[in-house]
A and B are shown apart, each in its own frame.
Chain A
Amino acid sequence: MIYLDHAATTPVAPEVLEAMLPYFTRVYANPSNVHRPSLEARRALDQARQGVAGHLGARQASEIVFTASGTEADNLAVLGLARAHREHGDHVVTTRIEHHAVLHACDQLEREGFRVTRLPVDEWGRVDPQAVLEACGPGTVLVSVMLANNEIGSLQPVAEIAELLRGRGILLHSDAVQAVGHIPVDVGQLGVDALSLSAHKFHGPKGVGALYLKTGIRVEPLLFGGGQERGLRSGTENVPGVVGLARALDLACAGREERAERLRTLRNRLVERVLGELPDAHLTGHPESRLPGTASFVFDGAEGESLLLQLDRKGICVSTGSACSNATLEPSHVLKALGLPLQRAHGSLRLTLGRENTVEEVDQAAQALVEAVRRLRSLAPRSRS
């Protein structure tokens, strides 16, 4: 198998699994109690929190709230921050290319009476910071802009947006689920008030995420119960998961730059091969300002799901955002936001590289992709023009 779907999820690193195992079987006590096994579990939790805070540049470990997913972290930020600041305003600003964890949370806010502005992006999938500022009014309480897009890999100018919003009393959240562990993420340098991440995107386990929440900022919880995570996220802590998240982040941050450089080289090789051999093939997203491992394309005359199935048959795992791949029969909201002609958006394919991929695998995938596109084009009706 050649796995090129790392933006969807990554394998758990062996070191991560090893770090987690004792917390399933030996240190299984509930961290909320005061007997010694509980204190050991509590210590592991505290250490993990400290480690994550350190990697993100947070000032205090208490600024990290562990959740059960990136989606929950996004929901806690968007719903929790807007609801907690309702008395100051009823307006939220976001972009059209956010993950559904943010967009559908914004839909929920609208049902609760909030107003939501969803800003367009340019052809590279980047929002204009000035447009964000202009969208904000006296009633704006929250801006949510992702750091890196999951479909096309484009990076957003979050730090610039933070600079423009400074001193206006508007909270800034960033969904950094695709970015953490892959590009430098420092909450101080970014100037964000809240930031979401998910362990399984950087070789940690599924079922655990985290929200960075700047000290002093109020958020309304989504879950009520035992008051864990400073009352912000009730529910017995997922100690093995949290330990795994922290260990995975340690590994991802150690040697990140070298790894990113290697991925960029591999990614560029893939992109050049595919675009060099196929006419009417296009890279989507920003050509340079993008995640190191993300290659995303659209092909005229070849439908995305059909491409995916042909590659799958050769043991190559990729993703598509094409219309046929989802029940609504429409291309993904991200491809639509880029302003791609509908016909072109049908042929979208995303290949996301990871640390275990080799040059040989990338070459094999490029070759298979070129063949798959040619084959589908040979089956397709000829253009009438």
Chain B
Amino acid sequence: MYSPIVLDHFHHPRHVGVVSAATGHARLENPVCGDVVEFWIRVVEDRLEEIGFRAFGCAAAIASASMLAELVRGLSSREVLTLEAADLVEALGGLPPSKTHGAALAVETLRAALGEGVIS
């Protein structure tokens, strides 16, 4: 049911953990299914220099956070904000329809971390 890309990111997640000297942080939860995603970012001169995540949830939630971190590293804030959940789903080689909320939660959490700009 999961693409090889999703399984790869689930079994070997990239960018796990807290980022030092983070300039932004957010943690969001999907109240329905219980998935939780947390991002730390360090933005330097409008470049997303470093990103780290922790996630609780199904393979889709974990792989989404991992893939998103990979996709956005080195991008400008504006470039990050243009990324949609659909782009993430595509990068993952697709997600089952009942799992796309995992990608949406990751995108939303990262946007919150960018918007926040300060560590909470």
Contact = CB atoms under 8 A, between A and B. Distances in A.
Interface string B99-115: 10100000000000000
Contacts of A346: 33-34, 57
B27 A323 contact: no
A329 B99 CA distance: 9
Given A309-B10, A379-B13, A381-B27, A324 B35 contact: yes
Chain A interface main SS type: helix
A305 interface: yes
Contacts of B35: 303, 324
A330 B27 CA distance: 21
A383 to B, nearest CB: 10
Interface string A369-385: 00000001011111000
B69 interface: no
Contacts of A381: 27, 36-38, 54-56
A3 B98 CA distance: 27
Contact of A327 (B38, B55, B57, B98): B98
Interface string A319-335: 00011111101100000
Interface in B83-108: 98-99, 101
Contacts of A378: 16
A325 B99 CA distance: 10
Contact of B33 (A301, A306, A313, A323): A323
A301 B37 CA distance: 13
Q: Which size class do B's interface residues fall under?
A: 20 to 34
A306 B10 CA distance: 8
A343 interface: yes
B58 A303 contact: yes
Interface in A340-354: 342-343, 346
A332 to B, nearest CB: 13
Contact of A329 (B13, B32, B38): B32
A378 B17 CA distance: 9
A327 B60 CA distance: 13
For B13, B56, B59, B98, the residue with the greatest tally of chain A CB atoms inside 10 Å of its CB is B56
A310 B55 CA distance: 16
Nearest to B55: A379
A329 B56 contact: no
Nearest to B38: A381
B11 A382 contact: no
B62 interface: yes
Interface in B18-64: 27, 32-38, 54-62
B56 A380 contact: yes
Nearest to B97: A327
Nearest to A309: B59
Contacts of A305: 58-59
B7 interface: yes
B55 A330 contact: no
A255 B28 CA distance: 54
Given A329-B32, A330-B32, A313 B11 contact: yes
Nearest to A300: B56
B35 to A, nearest CB: 7
Contacts of B13: 379
A367 B97 CA distance: 33
A379 B62 CA distance: 8
Contacts of B61: 303, 324
A305 B34 CA distance: 13
Contacts of B60: 324
Contact of A303 (B2, B57, B99): B57
Contacts of A310: 11
B38 to A, nearest CB: 4
A303 B62 CA distance: 11
Nearest to B7: A309
Contacts of B98: 326-327, 329
A301 B7 contact: no
Given A342-B34, A380-B54, 10 more contacts: A303-B57, A305-B59, A323-B32, A323-B33, A324-B35, A346-B57, A379-B16, A379-B62, A380-B55, A381-B55
**8 nearest CB pairs, A to B:** A324-B58, A329-B33, A380-B56, A381-B38, A305-B58, A381-B54, A346-B34, A327-B98
Interface of B: 2, 7, 10-11, 13, 16, 27, 32-38, 54-62, 98-99, 101
19 contacts: A301-B56, A303-B56, A303-B58, A305-B58, A305-B59, A306-B10, A306-B57, A306-B59, A306-B62, A324-B35, A324-B61, A325-B58, A329-B98, A330-B33, A379-B16, A379-B54, A380-B36, A380-B56, A381-B54
